[in-house]
């Protein structure tokens, strides 16, 4: 068995319905286990590292420990430098990554890893910020306008706020990591936007991982409820600092309930360390005329999977699920979608584009299900990938299940390489070959990134896409 | 006045795949000179310009090309461009998704960087492109569009000329620059080209017809057939060719 199932103490074990839910998750995961090559839904993405037995669960007082550990053991006490932790000095024995070049200009006088909690990550737009470090909530709450509530999931459990939806939107069967997440349900937030309230700026959820040499395992469970007519935007940002070699595992489940005529824009940047495992599942349930729009850029992790399941349960609900991935090395980045059209005149559209280099593998599995009642619906899906090396690979599995007449459905997939004639044209104007490639890659991703409605978020994602992923 | 050679091609042989296209080509172009190379279709005129620019797919089997005294064949395509070689292409390439301004800015700054000049900021750059574009009848809207995408033949050639103007190369190759141009566009493009003639910059005009040479008047004209220069003369040679055709230079097969 895997090291992912351990006996740890969780908050609120005395709450019967919560504990019953966790037990159900645990039983389900025990039954399903870590997916293997035989698991159909995971046949292209093989999370082998998740069979390791050295995963570490952080205790709730980890912040104190982290600080104590580093201030005492670390030999690299330098202060007042501008390196913002980016200067990596190799193997001085402190467990942090250093090198002696000190290109940051600190002359070796920097304090790179003092582990003071610095939550200023340079977010280039105004947002209601929610911070997690290593999957643990940092208790700083943004000042919110009327009609918006953000509390921790466990607070929500205590006052029974979350009881109506928690565990009812997410599915366990066929989703082993949702089951695992349910077994450890504790960290995460509950967001509620009241009826007809329109949020003026995005909520930003940041999980910053600084795992050191440990293979941390963290679960995040978020419940997001938009009441009828509400409008909100959420940005999820998964990032890391310091040691990159940890095979840490971040396992996220979002349950999203969209009331009638509500609008929810859901953006995400997955920029985990290059050996990390990142599995995220968003379950979305939409009432009549509700609009869900999502965009996810994946550029980090060794195994990264962003999976979205949308259920359009009532008439005229619509979903737009877009994504991009940029990768090199040996990574596998997976985008899996499942859109269920369960009512008439529901609409969905998907555009996923990837850029794959090195020995990396891009995976897209997209399913559109149209129920017998769901007449006059439309579901469109397109996946495109740019292969930059001979050993890069993409695996695409589109599935259409149509049980109704009078529907419009399409799917398409294309892959290609950079156009040598275009590269020559740019080079003949003095543009270096690598720079020319980057210009073409940016142009390739332009149309999918331009689908991000929020301009500030769009520019932020665009610049993230232009930064080379870690090799 | 002593002349400084800019481009020196000696006994050049080049092939594409197994087929030898250039067979013993010799040409020296000094600073400030404009040379025209004229030849029938299939003589290998475009191969010549591609070999000078370093386009992949061409193999130089013998001979040498020197530019400002340096061995050109050892330089990458972009290095040649930064050294001051510009190819005004017969068929400019379309680059969907890349705005013309973005493309131009990357190019201008790459060349400026090479010349140890400071990179232009967006304001300075836009101002320069607008001014130069105006002279060539290029409006601000056109340079916002993706590079060459949906451009007419005339627009493409104007954009080539604009690139030449802003990159300020010391050596330009005009490869069939007049193809697809109506008479008005031809005048505009020629004026742009002539504006770069300052007694220092040199040009190689590759053309099938004499027409362009009425506007860009060459110092020397060479007849190019079967991979080498078979006759050289002054601008009058072009007129002669226009009258008699290339028949006497093309070998009976």
- Domains of chain A: which residue ranges? 128-418
Look up residue B131 and give its two tokens.
């001014």
Alpha-carbon span B141 to B151, nearest angstrom: 12
Alpha-carbon span A332 to A320, nearest angstrom: 24
> Are A431 and B97 inside 8 Å of each other by CB?
no
Domain ranges of chain B: 5-93+169-249
- CB under 8 Å to A1, separation ≥6 — which residues? A33
Residue A147 confidence (pLDDT):
96
The answer to whether A307 touches A170, Cβ cutoff 8 Å, is no
> Are A446 and B97 inside 8 Å of each other by CB?
yes
Q: Which of B55, B110, B163 sits opposite A424 (nearest CB)?
A: B55
Look up residue A210 and give its two tokens.
């600084």
Q: In A, which residues are within 8 Å of B96 by CB distance?
A: 443
Asked if residue A102 has pLDDT above 50, the reply is: no
Asked if residue A221 has pLDDT above 60, the reply is: yes
pLDDT in tens, chain B (253 residues): 568 999 999 999 999 999 999 999 999 999 999 999 998 877 788 899 999 999 999 999 999 999 999 999 999 999 999 999 999 998 999 999 999 999 999 999 999 999 999 999 989 999 999 999 998 889 889 999 999 999 988 899 999 999 999 999 999 999 988 777 888 888 888 888 898 888 889 999 998 888 889 899 999 999 998 899 999 999 999 888 888 888 877 764 4
Q: A133-142, A287-296, A361-370, A453-462 — which is least confidently predicted? A: A133-142
Class of domain B5-93+169-249: alpha beta
**What is chain B's length?**
253
With both helix axes pointing from N to C terminus, report the angle between A420-427 and A433-449 in degrees, rounded to the nearest 10: 120
pLDDT category, A101, cuts 50, 70, 90? very low
- CA distance to partner chain A, nearest, from residue B55 (Å): 7
pLDDT category, A119, cuts 50, 70, 90? confident
- How does B170-199 read in b/e, with b if 16+ C-beta sit within 10 Å? bbbbbbbbbeebeeebbebbbebbeebbee
Q: What is the pLDDT averaged over residues A219-244?
A: 93
> Are A429 and B96 inside 8 Å of each other by CB?
no
> Are B106 and A435 inside 8 Å of each other by CB?
yes
Q: Which of A420, A428, A443 sits opposite B96 (nearest CB)?
A: A443
> Are A424 and B93 inside 8 Å of each other by CB?
yes
Binding-face residues of B in 52-71 toward A, CB within 8 A: 53, 55-56
Residue A91 confidence (pLDDT):
36
Alpha-carbon span B136 to B130, nearest angstrom: 10
Q: What is the pLDDT averaged over residues A106-113?
A: 45
| Residue pLDDT, tens place only, A282-335 | 999 999 999 999 999 999 999 999 999 999 999 999 999 999 999 988 999 999
How many Cβ atoms sit within 10 Å of the Cβ of residue A1?
A: 9
Q: In a mutagenesis test of the A interface, which of B92, B98, B168 is the best target, namely the one with the most A β-carbons within 10 Å?
A: B98
> Are B81 and A432 inside 8 Å of each other by CB?
no
pLDDT category, A104, cuts 50, 70, 90? very low
Alpha-carbon span A319 to A321, nearest angstrom: 6
Residue A53 confidence (pLDDT):
82
pLDDT category, A238, cuts 50, 70, 90? very high
Give the residue from A237, A270, A193 showing the smallest Cα distance to A469: A270
- CA distance to partner chain A, nearest, from residue B76 (Å): 9
Strands A148-152 and A189-193: antiparallel
Find, in chain B, the residue whose alpha carbon is nearest to that of A440.
B98
- CA distance to partner chain A, nearest, from residue B88 (Å): 10
Give the residue from B84, B166, B83, B78 showing the smallest Cα distance to B125: B166
B17–chain A Cβ distance below 8 A for any pair: no
Greater pLDDT, A83 or A150: A150
pLDDT category, A6, cuts 50, 70, 90? confident
Q: What is the pLDDT averaged over residues A396-403?
A: 96
> Are A443 and B98 inside 8 Å of each other by CB?
yes
Q: In a mutagenesis test of the A interface, which of B55, B95, B147 is the best target, namely the one with the most A β-carbons within 10 Å?
A: B95
Q: What is the pLDDT averaged over residues A443-469?
A: 91
B82–chain A Cβ distance below 8 A for any pair: yes
For residue B107, what are the CA distances in angstroms to A430, A438, B98, B114? Answer: 6, 14, 13, 11
Q: A132-136, A338-342, B26-30 — which is least confidently predicted? A: A132-136
> Are B110 and A429 inside 8 Å of each other by CB?
yes
Asked if residue A415 has pLDDT above 80, the reply is: yes
Q: In a mutagenesis test of the A interface, which of B49, B55, B77, B108 is the best target, namely the one with the most A β-carbons within 10 Å?
A: B77
Chains A and B: how many Cβ contacts under 8 Å?
75
For residue A140, what are the CA distances in angstroms to A30, A152, A202, B215? Answer: 36, 11, 17, 73
pLDDT category, A65, cuts 50, 70, 90? low
> Are A428 and B92 inside 8 Å of each other by CB?
no
B145–chain A Cβ distance below 8 A for any pair: no
* Helix, coil or strand: residue A455: helix
Residue B249 confidence (pLDDT):
77
Q: Which of A419, A427, A439 sits opposite B77 (nearest CB)?
A: A427
Per-residue H/E/C for B173-191:
EEECCCCCCCHHHHHHHHH
Residue B251 confidence (pLDDT):
62
Q: In a mutagenesis test of the B interface, which of A429, A434, A449 is the best target, namely the one with the most B β-carbons within 10 Å?
A: A429
Binding-face residues of B in 191-230 toward A, CB within 8 A: none
pLDDT category, A281, cuts 50, 70, 90? very high
Q: In B, which residues are within 8 Å of A443 by CB distance?
A: 95-98, 146
- CA distance to partner chain B, nearest, from residue A421 (Å): 7
- CA distance to partner chain A, nearest, from residue B117 (Å): 14
Element (H, E) at A136: strand A136-137
**Predicted ipTM of the assembly:** 0.95
B124–chain A Cβ distance below 8 A for any pair: no
| Residue pLDDT, tens place only, A9-18 | 888 899 999 9
B110–chain A Cβ distance below 8 A for any pair: yes
- CA distance to partner chain A, nearest, from residue B165 (Å): 12
pLDDT category, A61, cuts 50, 70, 90? low
> Are B98 and A439 inside 8 Å of each other by CB?
yes
Q: Is the dihedral of CA B141, B144, B150, B151 positive or negative?
A: positive
∠ CA(A454), CA(A455), CA(A460), 5° rounding?
A: 100
- CA distance to partner chain B, nearest, from residue A423 (Å): 9
Look up residue B162 and give its two tokens.
């604009």
Per-residue H/E/C for A235-294:
EEEEEECCCCCCCCEEEEEEEEEECCCCEEEEEEEECCCCCCEEEEEEEEEECCCCEEEE
Q: In B, which residues are within 8 Å of A428 by CB distance?
A: 53, 55, 77-78, 80-81, 86-87, 89
Residue A92 confidence (pLDDT):
37
Percent of chain A with pLDDT over 70: 86
Find, in chain B, the residue whose alpha carbon is nearest to that of A421.
B93
Query: How many separate helices (H) and strands (E) can be counted in chain A?
Result: 7, 20
Q: In a mutagenesis test of the B interface, which of A353, A428, A441, A449 is the best target, namely the one with the most B β-carbons within 10 Å?
A: A428
Asked if residue A105 has pLDDT above 80, the reply is: no
């Amino acid at each position: 068995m895997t090291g992912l199932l351990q006996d740890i103490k969780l908050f609120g074990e005395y709450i019967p319905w919560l504990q019953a839910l966790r037990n159900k998750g645990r039983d389900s995961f025990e039954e399903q286990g870590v997916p293997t090559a035989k698991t159909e839904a995971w046949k292209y993405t093989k999370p082998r590292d998740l069979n390791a037995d050295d995963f570490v669960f952080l205790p709730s007082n980890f912040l104190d420990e982290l600080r104590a550990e580093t201030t005492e053991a670390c030999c690299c006490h330098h202060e007042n430098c501008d390196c913002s932790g980016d200067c990596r000095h190799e193997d001085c024995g402190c467990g942090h990554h250093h090198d002696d070049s000190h290109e940051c200009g600190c002359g070796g006088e920097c304090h790179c890893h003092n582990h003071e909690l610095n939550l200023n990550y340079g977010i280039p737009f105004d947002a209601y910020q929610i911070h997690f470090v290593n999957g643990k909530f940092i208790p700083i709450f943004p000042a919110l306008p009327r009609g918006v509530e953000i509390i921790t999931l466990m607070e929500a459990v205590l006052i029974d706020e979350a009881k109506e939806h928690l565990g009812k939107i997410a599915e366990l069967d066929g989703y082993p990591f949702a089951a695992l997440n349910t077994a450890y349900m504790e960290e995460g937030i509950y967001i509620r936007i009241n009826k007809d309230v329109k949020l003026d700026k995005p909520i930003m959820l940041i999980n910053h991982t600084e795992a050191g040499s440990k293979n941390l395992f963290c679960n995040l469970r978020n419940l997001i409820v938009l009441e009828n007519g509400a409008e909100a935007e959420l940005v999820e940002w998964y990032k890391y600092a310091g040691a990159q070699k940890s095979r840490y595992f971040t396992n996220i489940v979002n349950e999203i309930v969209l009331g009638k005529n509500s609008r929810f824009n859901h953006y995400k940047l997955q920029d985990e360390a290059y050996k990390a495992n990142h599995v995220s599942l968003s379950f979305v349930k939409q009432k009549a005329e509700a609009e869900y729009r999502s965009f996810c850029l994946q550029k980090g992790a060794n195994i990264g999977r962003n999976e979205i399941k949308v259920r359009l349960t009532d008439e005229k609900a619509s979903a737009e699920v877009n994504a991009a991935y940029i990768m090199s090395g040996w990574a596998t980045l997976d985008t899996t979608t499942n859109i269920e059209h369960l009512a008439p005149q529901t609409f969905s559209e998907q555009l996923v584009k990837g850029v794959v280099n090195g020995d990396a593998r891009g995976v897209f599995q997209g399913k559109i299900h149209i129920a017998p009642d769901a007449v006059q619906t439309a579901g469109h899906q397109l996946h495109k990938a740019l292969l930059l090396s001979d050993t890069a690979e993409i695996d695409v599995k589109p599935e259409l299940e149509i049980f109704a007449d009078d529907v419009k459905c399409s799917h398409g997939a294309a892959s290609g390489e950079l156009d040598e004639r275009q590269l020559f044209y740019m080079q003949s104007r003095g543009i270096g070959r690598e720079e020319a490639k980057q210009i073409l890659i940016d142009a390739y991703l332009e149309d999918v990134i331009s689908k991000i409605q929020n301009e500030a978020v769009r520019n932020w994602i665009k610049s993230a896409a232009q930064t080379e992923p870690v090799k | 006045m002593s002349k400084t050679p800019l481009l020196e091609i000696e006994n050049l042989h080049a092939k594409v795949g197994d087929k030898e296209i250039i067979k013993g080509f010799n040409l020296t172009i000094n600073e400030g000179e404009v040379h025209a190379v004229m030849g029938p279709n299939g003589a290998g005129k475009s191969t010549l310009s591609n070999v000078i620019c370093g386009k992949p797919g061409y193999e130089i089997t013998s001979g040498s090309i020197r530019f400002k005294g340096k061995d050109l064949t050892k330089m990458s395509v972009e290095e040649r461009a930064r050294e001051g070689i510009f190819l005004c292409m017969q068929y400019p390439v379309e680059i969907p998704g890349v705005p013309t301004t973005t493309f131009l800015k990357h190019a201008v700054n790459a060349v400026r960087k090479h010349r140890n000049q400071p990179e232009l900021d967006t304001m300075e750059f836009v101002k320069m492109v607008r001014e130069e574009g105006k002279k060539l009848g290029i409006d601000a809207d056109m340079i916002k569009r993706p590079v060459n995408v949906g451009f007419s033949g005339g627009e493409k050639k104007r954009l080539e000329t604009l690139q030449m103007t802003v990159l300020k190369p010391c050596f330009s190759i005009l490869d069939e620059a007049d193809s697809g141009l109506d008479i008005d566009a031809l005048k505009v493009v020629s004026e742009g080209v002539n504006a770069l003639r300052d007694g220092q910059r040199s040009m190689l005009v590759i053309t099938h017809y004499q027409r362009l040479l009425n506007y860009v008047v060459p110092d020397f004209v060479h007849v190019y057939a079967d991979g080498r220069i078979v006759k050289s003369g002054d601008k009058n040679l072009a007129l002669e060719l226009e009258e008699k055709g290339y028949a006497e230079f093309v070998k009976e097969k």
